[in-house]
Amino acid sequence: MRKRALPVDGAEGVEASNPAASLTRGLEILRSFTADDSTLGNQELIERTGLPKATVSRLTATLVSLGYLHYDTQLGRYSIGPATVSLGYSALSSSAVVHMAHPLMQELADRTGVATALGTRDGLEMVYLANCRSQSPVSLRLNVGSRLPIWRTAMGLAYLAEMRPEIRDAVIAQIIAKEPDQEGRIRTSLAEAIESYTHHGFVATFGSWYSYINAVGVAFRPTDGSPLVAITCGGIVDIIPSDLCMSRIGPDLVRSVARLRARLNGQPELAAAR
């Protein structure tokens, strides 16, 4: 993971007199944990946040005392605590979009044999808020909390295609600043995604994240004021080759999102494709 810039001298003094700075840095420590991390040590937290050792030590002690982190004294490492888990589950369980999307996503997964997922943007990544798998023995094994790059995935590109242009331009500028050597590919991927979204109603990616994964994505803007989300179907290329993505999986996903929109608005919904 890329290191963040270290704070300038005197940052500790500024933080001590600014509770908001302490809160921000405490959240940065929690955000350092990904779905692939069971535990992290002090040095890993320092590298991922760019914070001084003393700041990390002080904030982790506070987070442990509040239950947001757990400290294993034998390993000398931290893991996500029950308070953080409870907060995350409270957010997901109270989301009408997640609650109403889940059965439709499972139907879609069972019908198509692929994995489905719902996610939203967190910085320059997409994060899974819900996911469903079919009974197929071969399926993507990403879970709630998994993070994906925006411009390399169907979920991220669909999200970008649906964003308001002025906000999208700012996000693209940040992505390019992080990966300047990929500017050409980033802009080409975005242009193709917007064109596909306009003509087909969904975005498809063929091996752009991992060479063996194809996926389609549709963004959805809830009418209740919830943040923009994206729903995707994905699987290995042997199960969903590109022609199947375009002819069946993509259109089926579009219909499923239309059904979700109707349910959220209390309107009659379209019948599922068979």
- On average, the pLDDT of the chain sits at 83
pTM of the full structure? 0.70
What are the residue ranges of CATH 1.10.10.10 in the chain? 11-82
CATH topology of domain 95-264: Beta-Lactamase (3.30.450)
Give me the mean pLDDT over the 205-227 stretch: 87
94 against 190, higher pLDDT: 190
- Say what the pLDDT of residue 1 is: 41
- Say what the pLDDT of residue 13 is: 47
Residue 93: Cβ within 10 Å count? 9
- Say what the pLDDT of residue 91 is: 60
User: pLDDT over 70 for what percent of the chain?
Assistant: 83
Q: Is the dihedral of CA 71, 74, 76, 80 positive or negative?
A: negative
Residue partners of 114: CB distance under 8 A and separation at least 6: 134, 136, 139, 140, 233, 234, 235, 239, 240, 249
pLDDT of residue 245 exceeding 70, the answer is yes
Q: What is the CATH number of domain 11-82?
A: 1.10.10.10
Alpha helices by DSSP H, the chain:
11-16, 19-31, 42-49, 53-65, 82-93, 96-112, 154-162, 165-178, 183-200, 242-244, 250-264
pLDDT of residue 85 exceeding 80, the answer is no
What are the residue ranges of CATH 3.30.450.40 in the chain? 95-264
pLDDT of residue 182 exceeding 70, the answer is yes
At 158, the amino acid letter reads A
191 against 12, higher pLDDT: 191
Mean pLDDT lowest among 29-33, 147-151, 224-228: 224-228
213 against 16, higher pLDDT: 213
For the stretch 26-45, pLDDT in tens is: 888 888 887 667 788 989 99
